């Protein structure tokens, strides 16, 4: 009986991982992946072009932060901006996103 329960739970666990992978289809291009993450997590304050300024957010088009500083803010949050350490929890995602944020500059 115990084994059976363990078996069912591990099956459910594997199955849920499979679903998650299917939802996250990443392309070969870092910029495209970054845009996808940006659209999901960042547009509500920064806007599609980075200059919306909702909730007192900074204009990303005129930002001068480097990659490390951008990733630090995404991880830790700042002021009204929340921390994304739980949702964007891989170096890869942070790197795609910071590359995309920099590409918003004119
Ligand atoms: C709830 C609104 C909100 C969301 C969502 C949000 N931000 Fe922000 N963001 C802000 C605010 C407010 C600031 C200004 C923080 C401060 O300096 O006090 C800011 C600042 C920044 C800065 C620093 C710009 C500079 O030059 O100082 C970057 C980079 C940034 N956000 C990127 C992002 C990214 C990438 C996402 C998505 C993962 C995101 N933000 C999601 C509100 C938000």
48 within some domain: yes
50 within some domain: yes
Expressed in angstroms, the distance from the first to the final Cα of the chain is: 63
Cα gap 10→31, rounded to integer Å: 36
- For the CA of 98, the closest atom of ligand 1 is 35
Concatenate the DSSP letters of all residues of 6-64 into one string: HHHHHHHHHHHHHHHHHH----S-HHHHHHHHHHHHTHHHH-TTS---GGG---TTS--
- What is the value of pTM for the model shown? 0.84
Query: Residue with structure tokens 């499979």?
Result: 18
CB 78, CB 45: distance < 8 Å: no
Q: Which structural domain, as residue segments, surrounds residue 39?
A: 26-103
Nearest protein Cα to ligand 1, atom 20: 58
1 within some domain: no
What would the pLDDT profile of 36-87 be if each residue is shown by its tens digit?
Answer: 999 999 999 999 999 999 999 999 999 999 999 999 999 999 999 999 999 9
7 within some domain: no
41 within some domain: yes
Q: What is the pLDDT of residue 6?
A: 52
59 within some domain: yes
- CATH assignment of the domain containing 87: 1.10.760.10
Domains of the chain: total: 1
Ligand 1 neighbourhood includes 97 CB (under 6 angstroms)? yes
Ligand 1 neighbourhood includes 45 CB (under 6 angstroms)? yes
Q: How confident is the model at residue 2 (pLDDT cuts 50, 70, 90)?
A: low
Ligand 1 neighbourhood includes 100 CB (under 6 angstroms)? no
């Amino acid at each position: 009986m115990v084994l059976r329960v363990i078996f069912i739970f591990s099956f459910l666990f594997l199955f849920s991982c499979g679903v998650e992978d299917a939802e996250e289809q990443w392309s070969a291009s870092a910029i495209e992946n970054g845009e996808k993450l940006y659209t999901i997590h960042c547009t509500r304050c920064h806007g599609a072009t980075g200059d919306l300024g909702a909730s007192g957010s900074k204009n990303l088009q005129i930002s001068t932060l480097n990659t490390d500083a951008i990733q630090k803010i995404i991880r830790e949050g700042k002021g009204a901006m929340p921390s994304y350490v739980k949702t964007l929890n891989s170096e890869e995602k942070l790197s795609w996103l910071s590359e995309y944020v920099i590409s918003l500059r004119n």
